[in-house]
Homo-oligomer: A and B are copies of this chain.
Amino acid sequence: MSMKLMTGKDYVLSLKEYNPDIQVKGKKVKSVADEPLFKPGINAIAVTYELAHQKKHQDIMLATLEDGTKVNRLNALDFSTDDLLKKLEMTRLICKWTGCGQRYLMHDALGALAEITATMDADKNTDYFSVFKDYLLHVQKHDLTCATAVTDAKGDRSKRPHEQADPNLYVHVVEKNQKGIIVRGAKANITGAPYVHEFIVLPTRAMQKEDVDYAVSFAVPVDAPGLKIIAKPAGRPEDTEAPFSSNFGQSTALVIFNDVFIPWDRVFLCGEWEYAGKLAEAFANHHRHSCIGARAGLGDMIIGASALMAEYNGLPHTDVPHIRRSMGELIRITEGFYATGVAASVYGHKTVAGNFVPDSVQSNIGKLMLAEQVYDIFRIAHEISGGIVATAPTPEDIAIPEAGELIDRYLVGKHGVTAEERIKMARFIEDLTASKEGGFYSIISLHGGGSPEAMRMSAVRNYDFESQKEHILHKLACFAKLEGTCKGCETCVNDELCEQECESAIAIEDH
Contact = CB atoms under 8 A, between A and B. Distances in A.
Given A394-B25, A412-B155, A451 B383 contact: yes
Given A9-B511, A325-B325, 4 more contacts: A153-B410, A165-B415, A186-B410, A390-B440
A43 B465 contact: no
Interface in A397-432: 397, 399-400, 403, 406-407, 409-415, 424-425, 428, 430
B331 A365 contact: yes
Contacts of A470: 304
Contacts of A315: 157-158
B151 A387 contact: yes
A500 interface: yes
Interface string A40-57: 001100110011011010
A486 to B, nearest CB: 13
A264 B362 CA distance: 48
Interface in A128-170: 151, 153, 155-159, 165-166, 168-169
A168 B452 CA distance: 42
B26 A256 contact: no
A79 B77 CA distance: 30
Contacts of A451: 383, 386
27 contacts: A9-B507, A13-B511, A26-B397, A26-B400, A42-B511, A47-B508, A50-B507, A50-B508, A97-B475, A153-B410, A158-B319, A158-B414, A166-B409, A188-B388, A188-B391, A230-B393, A308-B472, A324-B456, A332-B369, A332-B459, A335-B361, A335-B362, A336-B365, A383-B453, A390-B447, A434-B440, A439-B439
Contacts of A85: 346
A376 interface: yes
B430 A439 contact: yes
A7 interface: yes
A314 B393 contact: no
A428 B394 CA distance: 25
Given A315-B157, A460-B328, A443 B447 contact: no
Given A230-B406, A340-B336, A511-B12, A412 B166 contact: yes
Give this chain's copy count.
Answer: 4
A434 B437 CA distance: 8
Contact of A471 (B96, B368, B372, B386): B96
A125 interface: no
Contacts of A394: 24-26, 232-233
A476 interface: yes
A412 B393 CA distance: 41
A244 B397 CA distance: 25
A158 B314 contact: yes
A379 B446 contact: yes
Contact of A335 (B157, B340, B433, B475): B340
A396 B343 contact: no
A424 B485 CA distance: 13
B23 A331 contact: no
Contact of A397 (B23, B303, B509): B23
A256 B12 CA distance: 48
Contacts of A335: 340, 343, 361-362, 365
A47 B387 CA distance: 26
A378 interface: yes
A220 interface: no
Interface string A468-484: 11111101100100100
A228 interface: yes
A270 interface: no
A466 to B, nearest CB: 9
A105 interface: no
A3 interface: no
Given A328-B459, A433-B439, A453-B322, A9 B508 contact: yes
A460 B317 contact: yes
Contacts of A27: 396
B346 A443 contact: no
Contacts of A100: none
A196 to B, nearest CB: 16
Interface string A295-316: 0000011011101100001110
A327 B456 CA distance: 9
A99 to B, nearest CB: 11
A227 to B, nearest CB: 12
A319 B321 CA distance: 12
Given A339-B362, A453-B322, A511 B33 contact: yes
